[in-house]
Chains A and B, each alone.
Chain A
Amino acid sequence: MQSITLTVNGKSYTRDVEPRMLLVDFIRNALGLTGTNIACDTSQCGACTIHMDGMAVKSCTVLAVQADGADITTIEGLATNGHLHPMQQAFWDQHGLQCGYCTPGMIMAAAKLVENNPGITEAEIRHGLEGNLCRCTGYQNIVKAVAQAAAAGS
């Protein structure tokens, strides 16, 4: 066991973790934040995407101990003061989800994408979301949602 301290959605946590524990399991099981999903065992799907120190990362590719000292945001922490983040609103408006299982990861990846590239083009949106799988929507409305949020932010 190893002790780690990290900030998640603005709150500081100190926990003992197994050195082999994945960050996604820490977030889901130790902190009970189950909005971050797991959909694969090969880092393919992006359902587990979170923000860690300002970057969108697949939390199944990070060990919990590697997140010691990190500042993390999960889907549950994206809204502020009861207001949905523009990316969450855009997924709502554009019907960018069906079953919703890919949605938290998709929104987290897309939010960073747009933040890092405010004038993002449609082709750039597609390239940026290459690492996030959705089985329900055919992606059409997801791309529209990200474009809406980008337009709203600029």
Chain B
Amino acid sequence: MMRAVGSTLSRVDVVDKVAGVAQYPGDIDLPGQLWMKVVFAGIPHAQINALNVDRARAAPGVVAVLTAADVPVNEYGLIIPDQPVLCGPGSTPTAAHVRWEADQIALVVAATKAQAEAAAQLIEVDYTPLPVITDPLAALAPDAPRIHANLPDNVLYSYRIRRGHMESAFAQADVIVESEYRTHAQEHAYLQPEAGLAFVRDDGRIEVIIAGQWMHEDRQQIAHALGLPEEQIVVRYPAIGGAFGGREDMSLQIVLALAAWKTGRPIKTIWSREESIVGHHKRHPFIFKAKWGATKAGKVVAAQMDVISDAGGYMYTSNKVLGNALVACLGPYDIPNVHVDARTVLTNNCPGGAFRGFGGPQGHFAAEMQMTKLAAALGMDPVELRLQNVLRDGALLPTQSVVPPGCTAAETLEEAARRGGWMQSADGRWQRAAHAPSIQSAAGPQASARQTSLDASRRRIATGVGIAVCYKNVGFSLGFPEHCYAKVELYGEAEIEKAVVSCLGADVGQGAHTAFLQIAADALNLPPERIELQVEHTDITGSSGSASASRLTFMAGHAIQGAAAGALQEWQHEERPARCEFVFHPRPTTMYDPETGVADPSVTYGYCAQYAEVAVDLDTGHVEVTRLVSVNDVGKAINPQLVEGQIEGAAAQAIGWTLLENFIQKDGRTLTPHLSNYLIPGVLDIADVIEPVILEIPDPQGPLGLRGMAEMPMIPTAPAIAAAIHNATGIWIDQLPIVPERMWTALQAQNGA
């Protein structure tokens, strides 16, 4: 029989999606449903003295207006419950404190959307505005106002690494590079804005139909806030219109359930794009102060980093993202002397949280810029310098544990280098015929689909190339009890006629369910047509964990294989149907030592290297990526077509983050709440430049050798592009995004100099 794994089996949802019958949360209606309008505070920092909803309650069509006083346990949060479900008086002592403009203060439930929206206008709020902190550095000042009363210095979390002896290491260095890097917030802009439906079922339990990333975690947080046992809640995921980390934290889950519970009626809502952009977290902005030293021979001997991220008003996943950035900011290198101080700091900006790469893109921007600059300072080839320092099997991580076996940072980098025109000379050293930065007219080979209104023949274009490499943890790290359930049931008499495979990992568009099917088919030696997937809701089996941390195929793969093996054994024992529920636990990890950062932080890692070619318009500052080669070691491509799709999509998001996407807030308010002012890449911004390259070097811990892969191609893009810009223009751009204005200003400064 043909193996399912490795084939480009069609996605299980493809027919529904091309036919337009796939149901997303906003597509589902129930008889008797009411519409809910979520009211945001609209002010980034304030005390709510009073909230008068009398007029709203009396408005036409209104069935209920819920406020803080209506929330049984008025707190929530993925890591710690530090955020009120609804801000306002009449609840916990801290709930009357608004810390973010999109803190939710009331739920207006009415017969129609128009009635709910009209009534929301009638809510009267008596605020005492508080000073707004928008700069994490200012938040650290001794006299800065507190965002949370229990955190006097506004430092939400901190980590550090101490390894080796910095002073003697820097004394040993022949070159030292010092820089400050700044990375910016990024909006997920999944095309499906938040939407959902909640209702009380006939069995008395509350069901919430929503798009999320981890249905059991949603269930837990809903139950906590409602003060109900978890079994009282059912969470169901229909088709999900993208996530990228943006659905990891609660948006509508709790408030939909609350309104359904309080009114006994089905409750529906759909956020507008504006509500979505204002109302959910972003990729954390980071500031890195870096000082790295290397010897003439090309050994990086010391790396010192001071890291600050902007957490916004609440924890979300800030400590976890910081934990990742702590090692990401050192790159995939074996550096004997390391000193990192990392803090995540409270402000009144939009909360920072999960976004594909989870601290990896930010950290690697700093690390890989440092490597490129060190190579330039040493007069060394940037690939050669990296390969002399890169982590290889047996090497120690900065946390002083051995890198998990199967480290392929070097292999991905070498492949990207080859495809970018590097060659290994007889003495083993890597070099590329120096790219002569050229200035040419745009009408030549660099002409692209995207033409500006300028006369093409008059444009002056400089071209350049750059390269970068990264690693990223697979799975929940730092001692989190990582696990994943799966269940297999086999039906038939003499032979297996049908298998039912259950695994509750969310298919957010990446194709997880198709990968589950392929892994199950081979594990059971059945054709995929004979397998039915059950993946929809929390009653089916135990938690599969989140669709995040590039973990799902890795963890679910193991769990499905385990359940399949168990069920086949039962089948041998003549059980009909034969059943097995299996929980996979990967090897445990440990938390950073608070003094030294010593830890075995992650189950395993995935690796990616990218080579970028850019064209910089010297008159307008427009930067265009003309070619991006992304080499990803995925261990084993369960479905090469889906894997390539992940690489291409991630690289496009990364190009967007680097060059285009510019989330702007002023005084704690979002100035870019629409897709007309928060620009995401369109087809002309990406053109045909992404070349996905799959390596399959097995991860000894992976099921079938596979590695997690979905975040990694988001990570090296920014530093590869910035290196290429330097190659083209001689300018280092240390701050993202490299929008035309920033590039143009730097070009002007260079001309003036």
Residues in chain A within 8 A of chain B (CB atoms)? 28, 32-42, 44-45, 47, 74-76, 78-79, 84, 88-89, 91-92, 95, 97-104, 107, 122-123, 126-127, 129-130, 132-143
8 further interface pairs, Cβ-Cβ under 8 Å (given A44-B675, A135-B242, A139-B648): A39-B191, A40-B674, A75-B19, A132-B683, A137-B648, A137-B649, A138-B690, A139-B686
Taken together as a complex, chains A and B put the C-alpha atoms of A122 and B449 apart, in Å, by 10
- Which of B10-18, B166-174, B323-331, B662-670 sits within the interface? B10-18
With most chain B CB atoms within 10 A of its CB, the pick from A38, A95, A141 is: A95
Contact bitstring B1-30, A, C-beta under 8 A = 1, else 0: 000000010110111111111111011010
Q: Which residues of B contact A (CB under 8 A)?
A: 8, 10-11, 13-24, 26-27, 29, 188-193, 239-242, 244, 270, 272-274, 449, 508-511, 641-642, 644-645, 648-653, 674-676, 680, 682-684, 686-688, 690
In the bound complex, residues from chain B placing their C-beta under 8 Å from that of A137 are 645, 648-649, 652
Q: Which residues of A contact B189 (CB under 8 A)?
A: 135
Contact A135-B190, Cβ < 8 Å, known A45-B675, A100-B241: yes
Say what secondary structure dominates the interface of chain A.
loop
State the CA gap A139–B27 with chains docked (Å): 25
- Structural contact, B191 and A138, CB atoms closer than 8 A: no
Q: Would you give the shortest CB distance from B634 to chain A, in whole angstroms?
A: 16
Q: Which of A33, A41, A107 contacts B18 (CB 8 A)?
A: A107
Cβ of A37: which chain B residues have Cβ within 8 Å of it?
Answer: 24, 191-192, 241
Closest CB of chain B to A61's CB: distance in Å? 13
Residue of B nearest to A98 (CB): B509
Residues of the B chain whose Cβ atoms lie less than 8 Å from the Cβ of A143: 683, 688
For B242, give its contact among A44, A76, A127, A136 (CB under 8 Å): A136
Query: Are B642 and A95 in contact (CB-based, < 8 A)?
Result: yes
User: Chain B residues near A32 (CB, 8 Å)?
Assistant: 29
Q: How far is the CB of A80 from chain B (nearest CB, A)?
A: 12
Number of A-B contacts (CB under 8 A): 170
Interfacial chain A residues near B642, Cβ < 8 Å:
95
- List the 8 closest pairs (A to B, CB-CB), nearest first: A35-B20, A99-B509, A75-B20, A100-B17, A101-B241, A138-B652, A138-B648, A34-B27
A99 touches B18 (CB 8 A): no
Cβ contacts under 8 Å, B684 to chain A: 126-127, 130
What residues of B have a CB within 8 angstroms of the CB of A138 in the complex? 645, 648-653, 686, 690
Q: Is the CB of B192 within 8 A of A95?
A: no
- Residues of chain A with a CB closer than 8 A to B244's CB: 135
Q: How far is the CB of B723 from chain A (nearest CB, A)?
A: 21
Is the contact region of chain B dominated by helix, strand, or loop, or is it mixed?
Answer: loop
Contact A101 B683 (CB under 8 A): no
Q: Find the B residue at minimum CB distance from A77.
A: B20
CB distance from B663 to the nearest CB of A (A): 15
Task: Given A37-B191, A134-B191, decide whether A129 and B20 contact each other with a Cβ distance below 8 A.
Answer: no
Are A99 and B241 in contact, CB atoms less than 8 angstroms apart? yes
B640 to A, closest residue via Cβ: A95
When C-beta atoms are compared, the residue in chain A nearest to B655 turns out to be A138
- Distance (whole angstroms) from the CB of A20 to the closest CB of chain B: 10
A140 to B21, CA, bound (A): 24
B651 touches A103 (CB 8 A): no
**Interface pair B688/A102, CB less than 8 Å apart:** no
- Taking the nearest CB of chain A, how far is it from the CB of B678, in angstroms? 10
Which of chain A's residues have a CB closer than 8 A to the CB of B674?
A: 40-42, 44
A36/B20 in contact, CB under 8 A: yes
Give the docked Cα–Cα distance between A118 and B205 (Å).
55
Our pick among B15, B21, B26, B649 for the contact of A136 (Cβ within 8 Å) is B649
Closest chain-B Cβ to A53's Cβ sits at a distance in Å of 20
The answer to whether A98 and B649 touch across the interface, beta carbons within 8 angstroms, is yes
Q: Which residues from A are CB-within-8-Å of B17? A: 97, 100, 103
**Which residue of the partner chain, among B11, B19, B239, B511, contacts A88 with CB atoms under 8 Å?**
B19
| Bound-state Cα–Cα, A74 to B14, Å | 18
CB contact between B274 and one of A34, A35, A41, A103 (< 8 Å): that residue: A41
Please determine whether A103 and B240 come into contact, CB atoms closer than 8 angstroms.
Answer: no
- Which of B20, B241, B648: most chain A Cβ within 10 A? B20
- Least CB distance from A108 to B in Å reads 9
Contacting pair B449 A127 (CB below 8 A) = yes
For this complex, 14 residue pairs linking A to B, each with C-beta atoms less than 8 Å apart, are A36-B20, A92-B14, A95-B641, A97-B17, A99-B191, A99-B508, A123-B449, A133-B680, A136-B645, A137-B645, A137-B648, A139-B648, A139-B682, A140-B686
Between B10, B642, B649, B676, the greatest number of chain A beta carbons within 10 A of the residue's beta carbon is seen for B649
